Amino acid sequence: MKILASWGATAVIAAGCFFYAPHAHAQAIIATVNGAPITNWDVTEREKLLRAMRMPASYDDALNSMIDDQLKLGETDKFKIKATDSEIGQQIGLEASLMNMAPAALMGAIQRAGVSTQHIKDHFSADFEFNLMVQAYNKGVDASESAIRAEMAKDGGKSAVGIDYKLHQVIFTLHGGNIFAETQQKIQAANALRERFTSCSEGLPLARNMDDVAVKDEIIRNSLQISDQLKDILDKTPIGHLTSPERTSDGVEMIAVCSKGVSNDDTAVRKAISERLLSAEMRSDAARRLAELRSYAVIVKH
């Protein structure tokens, strides 16, 4: 889990995270969707991908998933919608958040399953492009005030109580060379600082005075703005202490938890509820549109 990525609404996986896996030599067309072919290799790859994503992964599940992708791509092609590698990464990040996983953890599971680069990109680009189209159809749609108030009133108003965290990111930078050895050395140094770090007032200046250590400016995040995984880490970290060191693309990182308490501002809560309601509405509309596409598609199984 990259610490900064966990703070955002959507995490982005760089294209470099993808890896190469060769296609199977013998492929047979087992179905067509409006003339677009689906091969036995496609279905085998999809079975592996579905398993990695903790979804039903029978042959029929995989074939239906491939049919859905072909329907999505066929529709978005009409509007010349094409996802970039960065946007594919955004979609992977979204799927990971829905699974309560870090994006890197989801990518790791997919890679360990042996899914090919092309199949990964084809599937998540189909999802991103179709969702983008659905969003365009629903442009200007907002969650109603009554719906937001109803959500805030649930559980006697407890859902409206958010926790504000005041945080600093502490990064031990890496210079290259023997990355493994340097990473281990930095982790040891980070753990040594973590033992000495018992308050932000004394610990942050201590970190700033260390060589090759960057302390980022304070950032305030509400509990409804971050992932459940990061919230759990922050809740378990005492005020004035550091989270465990973690290797990221920026180096070896920790978070200094300088304060946490009930928020007096419901802006973040209202925004999070609105986004959740809109996200649910978009998923519902996407499912409705996909079912409509299936209803008049020419699907032939060989």
Asked, for residue 267, whether it belongs to a domain, the answer is no
Establish if 125 belongs to a structural domain: yes
- 79 shares its domain with 45: yes
Cα separation, 219 vs 234, in Å, equals 13
Q: Which residues have CB under 8 Å from 8's CB, separation 6+?
A: none
Domain identity same for 238 and 126: no
- Judge whether 229 and 97 are in contact, CB under 8 Å: no
Q: Verify that 10 and 135 share a domain, yes or no.
A: yes
Answer whether residue 209 is part of any domain: yes
How many domains does the chain divide into? 2
Inside any domain, residue 18: yes
Contact criterion met (CB below 8 Å) for 69 and 54: no
Residue 274 lies in a domain: no
For the chain of 302 residues, list the mean pLDDT of each consecutive stretch of 10.
39 41 68 96 97 96 97 95 92 87 88 94 96 87 70 58 88 84 92 96 95 94 82 93 89 94 71 76 91 96 89
CA torsion, ordered 241, 3, 187, 183, to nearest 10 deg = -170
CA proximity to 247, closest of 167, 169, 172: 172
Residues 8 and 107 in one domain: yes
Q: For residue 174, give the CATH number of its domain.
A: 3.10.50.40
For the chain, the distance separating the N- and C-terminal CA atoms, rounded to the nearest angstrom, is 43
Q: What is the pLDDT of residue 161?
A: 60
- Residue 136 and residue 175 share a domain: no
Q: What pLDDT score was predicted for residue 249?
A: 75
- Interatomic CA distance for residues 123 and 120, integer angstroms: 5
Mark whether 41 and 88 lie in a shared domain: yes
- The backbone region for 155, taken as left when phi is positive above 0, alpha when psi lies in -120 to 50, beta otherwise, is left
Domain residue limits at 42: 3-140+279-301
Beta carbons of 222 and 268 less than 8 angstroms apart: yes
Predicted local distance difference test score (pLDDT) of residue 226: 83
d(CA 24, CA 67): 20
Q: Same structural domain for residues 193 and 128?
A: no
| pLDDT given at position 272 | 73
Q: Are 240 and 199 in contact (CB under 8 A)?
A: yes
Closest C-alpha among 37, 12, 15, 14 to residue 118: 15
pLDDT score, position 146 = 74
Q: How many CA atoms lie within 13 A of 26 on its CB side?
A: 0
Does a structural domain hold residue 62?
yes
